[in-house]
A = this chain, B = another copy of it.
Amino acid sequence: MSETLEQIGQQAKDAATELARLPAEAKSEILTRCADSLLANQEAVLTANRADLTEASGLKASFIDRLTLTPGRIASMAESLRQVAALPDPVGEVLSMKTLPNGLIVGQQRVPMGVIGIIYEARPNVTADAFGLCFKAGSAVILRGGKEAIRSNEAIVSIFRNVLGAGGVNPHVLQLIMDTSRETARQLMRLNRFVDLLIPRGGAGLIQSVVENSSIPVIETGVGNCHIFVDESAQAEMALPIIINAKTQRPGVCNAAEKLLVHQKIADSFLPAVCSALREKNVELRGDAAAVRMIPGCIPATDEDWDTEYLDLILAIKIVRDADEALAHIQKHSSGHSEAIITENYTNAQRFLHEVDAAAVYVNASTRFTDGYEFGFGAEIGISTQKLHARGPMGLKELTSMKYIIYGSGQIRP
């Protein structure tokens, strides 16, 4: 493909203008047809994926796993497209409308973002997910996926573009950058004239690189060094299942708990049961000096531990003097993702909610709920740990912008 990034950008912008005018029903219909066509043409996708896998043989098992497509995984991709098709359309909603003293009627209306760029790793399922969400939100999307998945991505994109063309929609609402060199990724990050928003999806290195190099606004989905603070007044029978759930239900994700802070007054009575339950789940325990003294076999935590997102069956435990020390520790080490307090103390609960600076702050619940589906958004493009535009789980609404619409009757400014 000899298209330049400039051409891709211009095509996306033009297509986005047309897409913004497409009615909600037409968008849903297209997404449903994309799901059908993906299933009908799954052999082509699997063949392309096998070619990708052949070339990638020798790479890490977890990498290969993420790259691999199966009929089951393709069925999941199709099902996700159907779910997104069925969601309410976020575009057009008027958030507020009021009449000014001079008679101007000023409303704030949700509109498509325009053109969204997605930079991601060799995960072909993201190709379908990202297209589905951006399309439903009324935006054209430019995809730049990992080079190891290029054949799979091309096969998926080709199926969707055929559906778009057959449905009378400009296929440039979905474009895949075929040149997977670092240079094109960098060019994409400077394409401000055409691209309104860039979302990196992947590991910390990818996200860091996009944040540092992009002149386009970026939504950053970051790490989760999530804490649970068990206060003096916590109910042990409530705290224990929350800790086990937050640590072990799915340890490799960003909303899993990585740190446990325990009030010193209950450490003696509480820790034996929770540590034994964690060990039954094969969780490695690390701790500060006090925790190491209390917990047999607990490994001393290093300074680095307190800032580390393990994404693994490891938990670091710190005994704290009081809520003040817990809050100070969280403030210092939190990655701003999800933080929880387990307490029966009203004042400490309210204080924790008020003072902890994170995307999601919990009283008496597992941090694992920080998720677009759990929050009822019906879909999720990621979890933002930055403060601009979107913070926490991002659904369709977070992929939109707004504009002011003003109905006048001849008003001029005095």
> How many copies of the polypeptide does the oligomer hold?
2
Complex contact B215–A217 (CB within 8 A):
no
Query: Which B residues lie within 8 Å of A347 (CB)?
Result: none
Q: How large is the interface on A (under 10, 10 to 19, 20 to 34, 35 or more residues)?
A: 35 or more
Q: Which of B17, B242, B360, B408 contacts A363 (CB 8 A)?
A: B408
Q: How far is the CB of A105 from chain B (nearest CB, A)?
A: 9
Q: Which of B353, B388, B405 contacts A361 (CB 8 A)?
A: B405
Contact A408:B111 (CB < 8 A) given known A389-B388, A403-B357: no
Stretch binding the partner chain, chosen from A258-266, A276-284, A311-319, A368-376: A368-376
Query: Which B residues lie within 8 Å of A412 (CB)?
Result: 241-242, 244-246, 249, 365-366, 368
Cα separation A388 to B413 with both chains bound (whole Å): 28
Is A136 engaged at the interface, CB distance under 8 Å to the other chain? no
Complex contact A374–B215 (CB within 8 A):
no
Cα separation A359 to B235 with both chains bound (whole Å): 51
Is A131 engaged at the interface, CB distance under 8 Å to the other chain? no
**A-B contact list, 19 entries, CB within 8 Å:** A20-B355, A21-B355, A111-B357, A196-B386, A197-B388, A235-B410, A242-B410, A245-B412, A245-B413, A249-B412, A361-B406, A363-B408, A364-B407, A364-B410, A364-B411, A368-B412, A388-B388, A391-B402, A391-B403
Query: Which B residues lie within 8 Å of A20 (CB)?
Result: 355, 357
Contacts of A125-183 to chain B: CB distance below 8 A: none
Cα separation A391 to B411 with both chains bound (whole Å): 22
Q: How far is the CB of A391 from chain B (nearest CB, A)?
A: 6
Q: How far is the CB of A195 from chain B (nearest CB, A)?
A: 11
Query: Which B residues lie within 8 Å of A353 (CB)?
Result: 405
Complex contact B196–A387 (CB within 8 A):
yes
Q: Please name the 10 residue pairs, one residue from A and one from B, whose CB atoms are nearest each other, closest first.
A: A365-B408, A245-B412, A387-B401, A389-B389, A368-B413, A364-B408, A217-B388, A238-B410, A360-B404, A365-B411
- Interface flags, A84-118, vs B, CB<8A=1, else 0: 00000000000000101000101000010110000
Complex contact A114–B217 (CB within 8 A):
no
Cα separation A376 to B108 with both chains bound (whole Å): 13
Is A409 engaged at the interface, CB distance under 8 Å to the other chain? yes
Complex contact A366–B413 (CB within 8 A):
yes
Is A348 engaged at the interface, CB distance under 8 Å to the other chain? no
Cα separation A189 to B326 with both chains bound (whole Å): 32
Contact A362:B217 (CB < 8 A) given known A368-B413, A388-B388: no
Cα separation A400 to B25 with both chains bound (whole Å): 35
Complex contact B366–A411 (CB within 8 A):
yes
Contacts of A281-329 to chain B: CB distance below 8 A: none
Query: Which B residues lie within 8 Å of A218 (CB)?
Result: 217
Query: Which B residues lie within 8 Å of A219 (CB)?
Result: 388
Is A211 engaged at the interface, CB distance under 8 Å to the other chain? yes
Complex contact B241–A410 (CB within 8 A):
yes
Complex contact A392–B404 (CB within 8 A):
yes
Cα separation A358 to B403 with both chains bound (whole Å): 7
Q: How far is the CB of A18 from chain B (nearest CB, A)?
A: 10
Contacts of A202-216 to chain B: CB distance below 8 A: 211-212, 215
